[in-house]
Amino acid sequence: MTVSNRQLRWAAAAILQEQLVAFPTETVYGLGANALSDHAVASVYAAKGRPQFNPLIVHVRSLEEAHYYGVFSETAWALAHQFWPGPLTLVLPRREQCRLSLLASAGLDTVALRVPAHPLAQALLHEAGVPVAAPSANRSGHISPTQAAHVIEELGKSVAIVLDGGPCAVGIESTVLDASSELLTILRPGSITKPMLEATTHQPVVYAAANSSIHSPGMLESHYAPDLPVRLNAVDTEQNEALLAFGVPLVSHAGLMLNLSPSGNLQEAAANLFRMLRELDSNGRKRGLKRIAVMPIPSSEDNSALGYAIQDRLTRAAAPRG
Ligand code: TXA
Ligand code: MG
């Protein structure tokens, strides 16, 4: 789980040679490519099987570097100052004539920027010296990876190297906030919650309407999906179901079960979510089970906003498959 300086230099060199590198961030593992290279960015879309209308997040070392690529309003600057490095992605107007691959922002006139806090992500960005476009390192529509082994399983053949930083602390992807216009809009909820953002902006922050696919092309309904179907808000289980519990598990359930957080802690649940979905999926299929039932997670937009972000991922995991 420790990465040597040699591996780090190797990874940076691979980025500069337009290859793909998987690396840990505090949220999930990313599939990184040189964001200045159309060729490298194109191979990210190819490796993931990702539609090219779904733009990528560009990772940079610092707020100073972010200014080369995005135009910051005063509010956007205040948010970046408060939450970077950390799990907040800001969608901003793309600076004209900036050197970023247009493919990274899928031809939009905005760009999604984030300064990750994970020391290995920071070390890679410093060593490579270029911005790194990185979606979550999973096949498009599948569950995001929170451990190096998840990446190797799904995308091992596509990457030059996987930097193993152990399990990701946050466990769900960054909050994506559209700060490209006056109305601050959360395109993807995450661990930096609406009340946290509003405490900095002193102005209301809204959630994008569920069907605002135009806003964020990535917000496709079915996403984060295991192979087994998912049933939400389960208060009982059937014989052919595995259980993803939260808090005190259902007494009636005797079969395969994992618990997101026995003590009902939302941070712990977020960190466990994707790994447990993967494990229930693969062990459930081995045992011939037909579905994953998930107990209710307390979630409201304001009071338990992290639960809201977890519920968002679960809803997409349970959505009808396209
Ligand atoms: O935590 C994270 O954000 C991880 C780690 C690796 O940093 N990355 C990640 O990337 O989750 P990805 O590509 O799986 O999700 C990026 C999201 C997508 O929903 C995409 O549609 C949205 O950000 N996005 C990117 N650029 C955008 C833009 N210009 N306008 C609107 N949405 C954008
Ligand atoms: Mg993703």
Question: pLDDT tens for residues 279-319?
Answer: 999 999 999 999 999 999 998 877 778 999 999 999 999 98
**pLDDT given at position 214:** 46
Pocket of ligand 1 (CB under 6 A): 25, 27-28, 30, 54-57, 87, 89, 91, 105, 108, 110-112, 114, 134-136, 173-174, 176, 187-188, 216-219
Average pLDDT of span 94-101: 95
**pLDDT given at position 304:** 78
Residue pair 268/276 in contact by the 8 Å Cβ criterion: no
Cα(232)–Cα(230) distance, integer angstroms = 7
Work out the pLDDT band at 143, boundaries 50, 70, 90: very high
**pLDDT given at position 219:** 59
| Residue 31: CB atoms within 10 Å | 28
Q: Is the pLDDT of residue 66 over 60?
A: yes
Task: Report CA(67)–ligand 2 centroid distance (Å).
Answer: 24
**What's the distance, Cα to Cα, between the start and end of the chain in Å?**
37
**pLDDT given at position 51:** 85
SS3 string of 106-146? CCCCEEEEECCCCHHHHHHHHHHCCCEECCECCCCCCCCCC
Task: Report CA(218)–ligand 1 centroid distance (Å).
Answer: 7
Cα(72)–Cα(88) distance, integer angstroms = 14
Q: Is the pLDDT of residue 42 over 50?
A: yes
| Residue 30: CB atoms within 10 Å | 31
Q: Output the residue whose Cα is nearest ligand 1's atom 20.
A: 218
Q: Degrees (nearest 5) of the Cα angle 111, 39, 99?
A: 40
User: Is pTM, for the whole model, over 0.85?
Assistant: yes
Window from 171-180, 203-212, 239-248 with minimum mean pLDDT? 203-212
**pLDDT given at position 220:** 60
Work out the pLDDT band at 212, boundaries 50, 70, 90: low
**pLDDT given at position 206:** 94
What three-state secondary structure class fits 86?
coil
